[in-house]
A and B are shown apart, each in its own frame.
Chain A
Amino acid sequence: MSEGPLTTETLQREHPPQASVPERRRRLPPLRRALRILLLPAGAIFLALLVGAAIMIASSPLVRGSVNPMLPLTAYGALVAGSVGSFNAIVSTLVQATPLVLAGLAVGVGFKAGLFNIGAQGQFLMGGLAAAAMGIATAGLPPIAAIPISVAAGMVAGMAYGFVPGFLKAYTGAHEVVTTIMLNYVAIQVVAYVASGPLRGETATFARTETITTATLPVIAGREGHIGILFAAIAVPVIAWLLFRSTLGFEIRTVGANPDAARYAGMRPRVLIMLTMSVAGLLAGLAGATEILGQVGHMPAAYATAVGFDAIAVALLGRAHPVGILFAGLLFGAMRAGAGLMQIQAGIPVQMVNVLQAVILFFLAAELIVRYVFRVRGAGVEVAEMQTITRSYGEQAAK
């Protein structure tokens, strides 16, 4: 994997394609190569845990009334126990990781095309809402029919919701960063309206839809390990194949790296931007459908989730590569899975996970700190001009 500052240039840059390195002998042994890839992220995570510990100690008077230097140990211990401490904990990690991986892919695919899809959150919500609506509508059907229909509904809804900012970007030049964020807030209101209005369940005490019955994803492992885990497991290789093995993926990556060159090479940036955003929306919508059908069981009117935002962190940590996103998703899934136990055992609010995520990203962006602390020397490729996601900011529509 390439190293370098956290920019889209590094996000879009190829990981040395497996088959196109002519002298295979020159490559590092797999283990050393893996270590090298993991060094910077691992360093960033380690430093972030230190910062998190410092915050916990500093805020410990608020937690227990006095300064407690051991608090981080208790907290991290609980975090580990809650995420990998038992079979059920591991399953819980997988369940938590599933939407993060899917939505992380949604953000990562966008990065490859030079698009910053902050709208995974909205696409996730719309996917969840559509899946819930269809799940309720198909309550009379057997699971074998109800589940595919509901999941597909979620994917289509997410895709449509991703298409909109793609279309706006391609034809009006409205930057996707702003439009996708706006659409996130619109999605919140749409969910609130539908779940407290036309689809409001009769029996529920708070505003939400009816409970989903036949469309509920079956549990295949442990207490809560639903089949949606497999969706994520399948999506990773599919997206990897799409990006690196198919001509379409080549087009997406070319548009991301150099839209003018793409146009000259006969690709159509507008179409590809809309397509990429649609694929991204589809993945985020699938994440939403999985979460609602597999975990929640209904659509609440005020659905508090941060999956779409965590997905950004996942995609950045995974450097927009599907495999990287898989591991980053597992890591953040583990944090989410363990956060509950951390709150119970150490009194540390779950929001600490957000803090840790932000600090991890900070150290990745400012990787020179990590390099300095761990004496990692740069092995990255020097590219003359920096490209950034921000490049297209405020520009006119793609031609």
Chain B
Amino acid sequence: MTADGRNPAAVLEMRGITKRYPGVVANDDIDLTVRSGEIHALLGENGAGKSTLMNILYGLAAPDAGEILLDGTPVDIDGPNDAIRRGISMVHQHFMLVPSLSVAENILLGDEPMANLVLLDRRAAARRIRELGASFGWEVNPDSAVGSLSVGWQQRIEILKALYRKARVLVLDEPTASLTPQETREIFDVLRRLRSEGYAIIFISHKLYEVLEVADRITVIRRGRVVGSRRPSETDEDDLAELMVGREVQLTVDRGESHPGEPMLTVTGLHVQDDRGRGVVHDVSLEVRVGEIFGIAGVAGNGQDELVEALLGLRSVSSGKVNLGGRAVTGASPRRLHQLGVGFVPADRHRYGIVLSFPLTDNLCLNDYYHAPFARGMVRDDDAIRSYADTLITQYDVRTHSSAAFAGTLSGGNQQKVVVAREFDGELRLLVLDQPTRGLDVGSIEFIHRQVIAKRDSGVAILLVSAELDEVLELSDRIGVMFRGRIVQVLDARKTNREEVGLLMATGGRATEAAS
């Protein structure tokens, strides 16, 4: 294929890629070779530099040093358009789909079939998309709005979008992040088939077992450097984990024995509507006991967000009852709930958790700013606020030069620690956790998990909601599976497995009737 005798099958070579950002070397002399007909896994924890590397490959960022070779020829990739033209396609970690556009419009965007110079050829477009979908056995409706599709379907659309562009190199950035095990398996089947058709596939993940299952070669990145490259047959999860984190890690939390006591949170027959007035939580009943972690598993968008918001007083309850320690708190305000000892760690800390433009002092007393010792009447006591903040910063190991630093200047892990510090402090009865470790590095994850277990053992009732099945399985004592706004089944976490929960998440099981 090439004249100078390089391995003809090496479709893509990245050599010595280096990318610096102020204060950080995101990629440090990274080499990566991907062959045709190979699934090459890129493994590393959040923030290791995987995404940066792929952004460089996709022309979204320019490397400070290094070169990229396609079919042995050095290329200068100037923007995504150029990458697409050279046969590189990418499925991004966060869906790059426009919710208000149709399936067809999303897939065609940027490479539209034209009826004439100006107008689109919508009929040809619909036909091509149906054909493309049919080749994978998917029945695609080109006209449905992408925003109304399930997460699994959106992931399929993303893949069709990449294939539509006639790619040779296909990059998938954490494609399984919010999928059920069953959906994940389907994606893996697709990947294997594409491999047999000669695609060069880069599969990015931080989930060890997935990488071991599907990859032909695994390259591990830590702190911007390649720290090892393995074949699945030569390695195992412990080896990969150590490579990835740089020290021996405990793969699962040592959650110890739990000793559930009296029910703390009792929800009966709860109905909640979304912003558009559609019922999204139906007749949910559950019980979280003192000293217990109750996990709610479910594919994103099955009513978990609305359930959490309703429990925290952020969304009104249509009908049903909520009891906290024997007290009726249905429709109570967030402040009242906080006074009663309810804490909350949100998935999107930038939304509910933190005010980026405020200093840590203000962020740490965000719920309690209005009463003593932080305020006397209407007057704030800055000294009290500061000394309280300093205490929490030390106690929760928030890395910052001062409590006056703006929250926005902290790393994601430290921002999350600020939220945890604020919400975990004080007399707690109920803790609501919504994907509390999303996007964090292993160190922060371990820290937060240990804090959660400690709270459980000190007699707090904990409700853990997560689309990340692994986290729910790891931490929970009992697991309620949420499907289309209902809790379809409650399982004992020690007696269930990924498969069972995943199946319930995907289908709701046959248990829909049995639950009611």
Complex contact flag A–B (Cβ < 8 Å): yes
Among candidates B354, B356, B380, B402, residue contacting A23 with C-beta atoms closer than 8 Å: B402
Q: Residues 324-364 of chain B: 1 if any A CB is under 8 Å from the residue's CB, otherwise 0?
A: 00000000011100100000101000111111111101100
Are A381 and B361 in contact, with the CB atoms below 8 A? Answer: no
Are A264 and B312 in contact, with the CB atoms below 8 A? Answer: yes
**Is A384 part of the contact surface with B, judged by Cβ < 8 Å?**
yes
Assembled-state Cα–Cα distance A246/B135 (Å): 65
Stretch at the interface among B116-124, B382-390, B447-455, B500-508: B382-390
**Is B378 part of the contact surface with A, judged by Cβ < 8 Å?**
yes
Q: Which residues of A contact B359 (CB under 8 A)?
A: 14, 16-17, 20
Are B408 and A20 in contact, with the CB atoms below 8 A? Answer: no
Are B314 and A17 in contact, with the CB atoms below 8 A? Answer: no
Among candidates A13, A17, A246, A265, residue contacting B334 with C-beta atoms closer than 8 Å: A265
Are A17 and B402 in contact, with the CB atoms below 8 A? Answer: no
Q: Which residue of A lies closest to B422 (CB)?
A: A265
**Is A202 part of the contact surface with B, judged by Cβ < 8 Å?**
no
Assembled-state Cα–Cα distance A245/B378 (Å): 8
Q: Which residues of B contact A265 (CB under 8 A)?
A: 334-335, 366-367, 369
A residues 14-28 touching B (CB-CB < 8 Å):
14, 16-17, 19-23
Assembled-state Cα–Cα distance A261/B352 (Å): 4
CB distance from B352 to the nearest CB of A (A): 5
Q: Which residue of B lies closest to A387 (CB)?
A: B357
Among candidates B375, B379, B385, residue contacting A20 with C-beta atoms closer than 8 Å: B385
Assembled-state Cα–Cα distance A16/B386 (Å): 13
A17-B404, A19-B386 known; A266 vs B367 contact (CB < 8 Å): yes
Are A13 and B380 in contact, with the CB atoms below 8 A? Answer: no
**Is A263 part of the contact surface with B, judged by Cβ < 8 Å?**
yes
Assembled-state Cα–Cα distance A257/B351 (Å): 11
Stretch at the interface among A29-37, A101-109, A130-138, A247-255: A247-255
Q: Which residues of A contact B354 (CB under 8 A)?
A: 258, 261
Are B379 and A382 in contact, with the CB atoms below 8 A? Answer: no
Q: Residues 379-405 of chain B: 1 if any A CB is under 8 Å from the residue's CB, otherwise 0?
A: 110110110001000000000001110
Assembled-state Cα–Cα distance A376/B270 (Å): 58
Are B356 and A247 in contact, with the CB atoms below 8 A? Answer: no
Q: Which residue of B lies closest to A9 (CB)?
A: B357
Q: Main secondary structure on chain B at its contact with chain A? A: mixed
Are A263 and B334 in contact, with the CB atoms below 8 A? Answer: yes
CB distance from B166 to the nearest CB of A (A): 36
Q: Which residues of A contact B386 (CB under 8 A)?
A: 19-20, 22
Are B361 and A20 in contact, with the CB atoms below 8 A? Answer: yes
Q: Which residues of B contact A9 (CB under 8 A)?
A: 357
**Is B318 part of the contact surface with A, judged by Cβ < 8 Å?**
no
Are B379 and A245 in contact, with the CB atoms below 8 A? Answer: yes
A20-B385, A248-B378, A266-B338 known; A261 vs B353 contact (CB < 8 Å): yes
**Is B213 part of the contact surface with A, judged by Cβ < 8 Å?**
no
**Is A396 part of the contact surface with B, judged by Cβ < 8 Å?**
yes
Are A261 and B408 in contact, with the CB atoms below 8 A? Answer: no
A20-B386, A261-B351, A387-B357 known; A250 vs B314 contact (CB < 8 Å): no
B residues 403-417 touching A (CB-CB < 8 Å):
403-404, 406, 408-409
Are A263 and B314 in contact, with the CB atoms below 8 A? Answer: yes
Q: Which residue of B lies closest to A253 (CB)?
A: B358
Q: Which residues of B contact A263 (CB under 8 A)?
A: 314, 334
Are B357 and A19 in contact, with the CB atoms below 8 A? Answer: no
Q: Which residues of A contact B334 (CB under 8 A)?
A: 263-266
Among candidates A14, A23, A250, A396, residue contacting B357 with C-beta atoms closer than 8 Å: A14
Among A17, A253, A382, A396, chain B packs the most CB atoms within 10 A around the CB of: A17
**Is B275 part of the contact surface with A, judged by Cβ < 8 Å?**
yes
Are B275 and A396 in contact, with the CB atoms below 8 A? Answer: yes
Are A13 and B378 in contact, with the CB atoms below 8 A? Answer: no
Among candidates A22, A264, A384, A396, residue contacting B314 with C-beta atoms closer than 8 Å: A264
**Is A144 part of the contact surface with B, judged by Cβ < 8 Å?**
no
Q: Which residues of A contact B209 (CB under 8 A)?
A: none
* Number of inter-chain CB pairs below 8 Å: 111
Residues of chain A at interface, number, CB under 8 A: 34
Q: Which residue of B lies closest to A260 (CB)?
A: B351
Assembled-state Cα–Cα distance A260/B344 (Å): 13
Residues of chain B at interface, number, CB under 8 A: 40
Assembled-state Cα–Cα distance A219/B445 (Å): 68
**Is A304 part of the contact surface with B, judged by Cβ < 8 Å?**
no
Assembled-state Cα–Cα distance A266/B365 (Å): 12
Q: Which residue of A lies closest to B408 (CB)?
A: A383
Q: Which residues of B contact A387 (CB under 8 A)?
A: 356-357
Are A383 and B357 in contact, with the CB atoms below 8 A? Answer: yes
Are B352 and A264 in contact, with the CB atoms below 8 A? Answer: yes
Are B404 and A22 in contact, with the CB atoms below 8 A? Answer: yes
Assembled-state Cα–Cα distance A261/B367 (Å): 9
Assembled-state Cα–Cα distance A248/B402 (Å): 25
Assembled-state Cα–Cα distance A382/B21 (Å): 13
Q: Which residue of A lies closest to B333 (CB)?
A: A266
**Is B370 part of the contact surface with A, judged by Cβ < 8 Å?**
yes
Assembled-state Cα–Cα distance A104/B381 (Å): 28
Assembled-state Cα–Cα distance A14/B357 (Å): 7
Q: Which residues of A contact B358 (CB under 8 A)?
A: 14, 253-254, 257
Q: Which residues of A contact B352 (CB under 8 A)?
A: 260-261, 264
Assembled-state Cα–Cα distance A21/B334 (Å): 30
Are B380 and A245 in contact, with the CB atoms below 8 A? Answer: yes
Assembled-state Cα–Cα distance A16/B370 (Å): 21
A248-B378, A250-B362 known; A13 vs B355 contact (CB < 8 Å): no
Are B357 and A20 in contact, with the CB atoms below 8 A? Answer: no
Assembled-state Cα–Cα distance A347/B346 (Å): 63
Assembled-state Cα–Cα distance A96/B504 (Å): 71
Among candidates B351, B367, B402, B409, residue contacting A22 with C-beta atoms closer than 8 Å: B402
Q: Which residue of A lies closest to B349 (CB)?
A: A261
Assembled-state Cα–Cα distance A247/B366 (Å): 11
**Is A12 part of the contact surface with B, judged by Cβ < 8 Å?**
yes
A residues 380-396 touching B (CB-CB < 8 Å):
381-385, 387, 396
Are A381 and B404 in contact, with the CB atoms below 8 A? Answer: no
Among candidates A21, A247, A257, A396, residue contacting B404 with C-beta atoms closer than 8 Å: A21
Q: Which residues of A contact B314 (CB under 8 A)?
A: 263-264, 399
Are A266 and B335 in contact, with the CB atoms below 8 A? Answer: yes
Q: Which residue of A lies closest to B336 (CB)?
A: A266
Q: Which residue of A lies closest to B337 (CB)?
A: A266
Assembled-state Cα–Cα distance A248/B354 (Å): 19
Are A12 and B312 in contact, with the CB atoms below 8 A? Answer: no
Assembled-state Cα–Cα distance A97/B312 (Å): 48
Are B378 and A383 in contact, with the CB atoms below 8 A? Answer: no
Among B314, B333, B335, B357, chain A packs the most CB atoms within 10 A around the CB of: B357
CB distance from A216 to the nearest CB of B (A): 35
Instruction: Give the 7 A-B CB pairs with smallest separation, nearest first.
Output: A266-B335, A383-B408, A19-B382, A13-B357, A258-B355, A264-B352, A265-B366
Show 29 residue pairs from A and B whose CB-CB distance is below 8 angstroms, ordered by the A residue: A12-B357, A13-B357, A14-B357, A17-B359, A19-B383, A20-B404, A21-B402, A21-B404, A22-B390, A246-B380, A247-B380, A248-B378, A254-B362, A257-B356, A258-B356, A261-B352, A261-B353, A261-B355, A263-B334, A264-B312, A266-B367, A381-B406, A381-B409, A383-B357, A383-B406, A383-B409, A384-B356, A384-B408, A385-B408
Which positions in B face A, CB cutoff 8 Å?
275, 312, 314, 333-335, 338, 344, 346, 350-359, 361-362, 366-367, 369-370, 375, 378-380, 382-383, 385-386, 390, 402-404, 406, 408-409
- List 18 extra interface pairs beyond A14-B358, A17-B359, A17-B382, CB under 8 A: A16-B404, A20-B361, A20-B404, A246-B379, A254-B366, A258-B351, A258-B357, A260-B351, A261-B352, A261-B354, A265-B334, A265-B335, A381-B406, A381-B409, A383-B357, A383-B408, A385-B356, A387-B356
